Amino acid sequence: MLDDLEKLKAGFLSRISSADSLPQLEQARVELLGKKSEIIGLLKGLGKLAPQDRPMAGKAINNLRVAVETALEQKISTISRREMVERLEKETFDITLPGRKAGEGGFHPIGLVMEELIDIFAGLGYMVEEGPEIETDERNFKMLNFPDDHPARDMQDTFWVQNGARLLRTHTSPVQVHAMEKYKPPFAVIAPGRVFRCDSDVTHSPVFHQLEGFHVDKGINFGHLKGSLELFIHRLYGVDTKVRFRPSFFPFTEPSAEMDISCVMCGGKGCRLCKGTGWMEILGAGMIDPNVLSAGGIDPEEWTGFAFGFGIERIAMLKYGIDDIRLLFENDPRFLGQFR
Ligand code: FA5
């Protein structure tokens, strides 16, 4: 029997060595070690042998099984390695080929203008504050001297979050109140940020950006306001730009004014952009109303201040000659790509 097993082993090993691929080896494994294989048959037949012959025969059959398993494993490992080498050779690529170009990002014009404005005011000693976009009626209106049912509330069409109590801020002026609650004067603050109004056409968007500025100190007067804004406009549009003030009304400033600048397009001669007047309205401003200082916990007998606020989209549209505000919010790559 031992001789027979040796012959079988020789046949099995040659069967394994002639297999030349992983599927062929798998087939050999099923044939040689599977349930219907000769080895399993031999193991099952052990019971028919004389008891004294069983241990030796069992050991010999088991050795045969181990030899077949070892030969299979070695062959599988040899073929796997060979296949991997072949695959790697086939997969070689030309590292000198140029790579694919990644699209280049850019800055949004609003972001660019915002950075420039912040730079200018930081250079003038203003610190930057940001208030919440969801405000209380109290800070957006009441503490800014808009009495209940005052018609001035209708100047800013409001998106209410909670009727009569919470709203999407309609302007950045409530940051004045936050700053007064947070800091003791003197302070000079700018507050850039998003604001919301129920408003939409080529120059008005329901979401837009404003920049608020205010300075509270002892002895601040309208001359300081004019001087600061003139300096700002000269830094933004150049020293040849002229400014003028017209009386206006805001509940939170007294006196209030609107500031015009000489047209950035025609230099004041009159053109389509300035509708032939040579001037363009750019911002609202005034001396902070004593009621607002009091509401913010600041004694108006001791301190005075000025405030101003303007739309950042308007500054960006004038700077880049954009004639429809909606272009700033559509995020069309053909439009944005011009601001790299
Ligand atoms: C105000 O919002 C005041 N809070 C500004 C102010 C601050 C005055 C401090 C005095 C002292 P007004 O409603 O005029 O003011 O808005 C200011 C600017 O925001 C406008 O000149 C305009 O440029 C811009 N603006 C207003 N509504 C829109 C809109 N729907 N879309 C785009 N820009 C707008």
Distance 323 CA to ligand 1 centre (A): 18
Bridge partners for 190 per DSSP: 128, 213
pTM over 0.85: no
- Does residue 255 have a cis bond before it (omega within 30 degrees)? yes
Pocket probe mutation, ligand 1, options 171, 203, 293, max atoms within 8 Å of Cβ: 171
Q: What is the pLDDT of residue 49?
A: 87
135 lines ligand 1 (CB under 6 A): no
Q: Tokens at residue 138, please?
A: 């109290």
Q: What is the pLDDT of residue 318?
A: 86
User: Which of the given ranges, 85-94, 250-259, 319-328, has the highest pLDDT on average?
Assistant: 250-259
Q: What is the pLDDT of residue 260?
A: 94
% of the chain with per-residue pLDDT over 90: 66
Distance 195 CA to ligand 1 centre (A): 9
Query: Rounded to an integer, what distance in angstroms lies between the CA atom of residue 283 and that of residue 261?
Result: 9
Closest residue to atom 30 of ligand 1, CA basis: 204
Q: What is the pLDDT of residue 73?
A: 95
Q: Tokens at residue 245, please?
A: 């003030």
Which pLDDT band, with edges at 50, 70 and 90, does 295 fall under? very high
250 lines ligand 1 (CB under 6 A): yes
Per-residue model confidence as pLDDT tens digits over 176-187: 999 999 999 999
Burial of 285 (0-12, 13-18, 19+ CB in 10 A): buried
38 lines ligand 1 (CB under 6 A): no
286 lines ligand 1 (CB under 6 A): yes
212 lines ligand 1 (CB under 6 A): yes
Q: Is the pLDDT of residue 328 over 90?
A: yes
173 lines ligand 1 (CB under 6 A): yes
Query: Rounded to an integer, what distance in angstroms lies between the CA atom of residue 91 and that of residue 43?
Result: 47
Closest approach atom of ligand 1 to CA 171: 2
Which pLDDT band, with edges at 50, 70 and 90, does 126 fall under? very high
Note the Cα 340 to chain centre separation in Å. 18
Q: What is the pLDDT of residue 196?
A: 96
Which pLDDT band, with edges at 50, 70 and 90, does 153 fall under? confident
* Mean predicted lDDT score pLDDT of the chain: 92
